[in-house]
């Protein structure tokens, strides 16, 4: 991990390898939580509580510098996952089902710029289509086994696909926290914006899934395309 400032005051950020490693570690920990605890959880939404926890995590990262990324990012990722899960439950998801639990992890791949506006952009459907086979394979693998094998190739592929997109957002977060004036307050603000963004994505994603369960996937997709064409 590189320092936040160089000798001549230039801004330095962690290497792409360090960011990628922290991203995968965070998602692996989130996957373990999703498959071991979310499926037994039935709590309602508590987004404000999760924001407070994310702010505290970001403040610690901002205060102690980017060297804390390998610790701070996994903590932040799990906090966000718990918030995403609460939103999923609020939208009628049954997290005892592996596919629903894995869809909480899938939200981290939907948070890119092209998938903004609460899941209403065409990029959202494109990413879901891209991940559909991997999610289905991973869900089937988990459903067939009473013991979750986190290092199983199918789960590793799933995490790798999500990480390839989530890592873009993490890089932007790291760049913001690398600013020399950030400190604890700035780190808290960055994490607040980070979790709020994924909460909005989760609300859009699971709202669409709820409508798909009621009206069918094709009907919802066709309605979207009609609305998008009328812009």
The pLDDT value given to residue 93 = 95
Task: With residue 22 as reference, give the H or E element that holds it.
Answer: helix 16-36
In the numeric block, which tokens belong to residue 185? 């307050």
Q: How far apart are CA 74 and CA 199, in angstroms?
A: 17
The pLDDT value given to residue 98 = 92
In the numeric block, which tokens belong to residue 87? 């939103």
The pLDDT value given to residue 71 = 82
- pLDDT tens, position by position, 71-130: 888 888 988 898 899 899 999 999 999 999 999 999 999 976 544 444 444 488 889 999
Q: What is the mean pLDDT of residues 165-179?
A: 83
Q: How is 75-102 classified by DSSP, letter by letter?
A: HHHHHHHHHHHHHHHHTT--TTSHHHHH
| pTM, to two decimals | 0.81
**Mean per-residue pLDDT over the chain, rounded:** 78
Q: How far apart are CA 74 and CA 159, in angstroms?
A: 14
- pLDDT tens, position by position, 133-149: 999 999 999 988 866 67
Buried b (16+ CB within 10 A) or exposed e, 52-70: ebbbbbbbbbbeebbebbb
Residue spans of the domains in the chain: they are 16-229
In the numeric block, which tokens belong to residue 50? 């999760």
**How far, CA to CA in Å, does 218 sit from each of 125, 208, 215, 231?**
12, 12, 8, 20
């Amino acid at each position: 991990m590189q320092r936040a400032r160089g000798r001549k005051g230039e801004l330095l950020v962690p290497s792409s390898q360090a960011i990628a490693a922290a991203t995968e570690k965070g998602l692996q920990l989130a996957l373990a939580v999703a498959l071991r605890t979310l499926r037994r959880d039935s709590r309602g939404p508590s987004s404000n509580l999760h924001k407070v926890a994310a702010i505290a995590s970001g403040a610690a990262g901002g205060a102690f510098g980017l060297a804390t990324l390998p610790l701070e990012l996994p903590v932040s990722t799990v906090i966000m996952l718990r918030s995403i899960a609460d939103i999923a439950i609020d939208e009628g998801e049954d997290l005892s089902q592996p596919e629903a639990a894995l869809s909480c992890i899938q939200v981290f791949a939907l948070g890119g710029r092209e998938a903004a506006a609460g899941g209403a952009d065409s990029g959202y459907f494109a990413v879901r289509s891209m991940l559909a086979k991997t999610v289905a394979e991973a869900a089937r693998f988990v459903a067939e086994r009473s013991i979750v094998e986190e290092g199983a190739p199918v789960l590793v592929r799933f995490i790798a696909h999500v990480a390839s997109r989530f890592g873009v957002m993490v890089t932007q977060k790291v760049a913001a926290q690398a600013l020399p004036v950030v400190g604890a307050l700035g780190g808290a603000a960055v994490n607040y914006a980070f979790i709020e963004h994924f909460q909005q994505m989760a609300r859009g994603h699971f709202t669409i899934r709820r409508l798909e369960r009621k009206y069918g996937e094709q009907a919802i997709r066709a309605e979207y395309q009609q609305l998008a064409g009328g812009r």
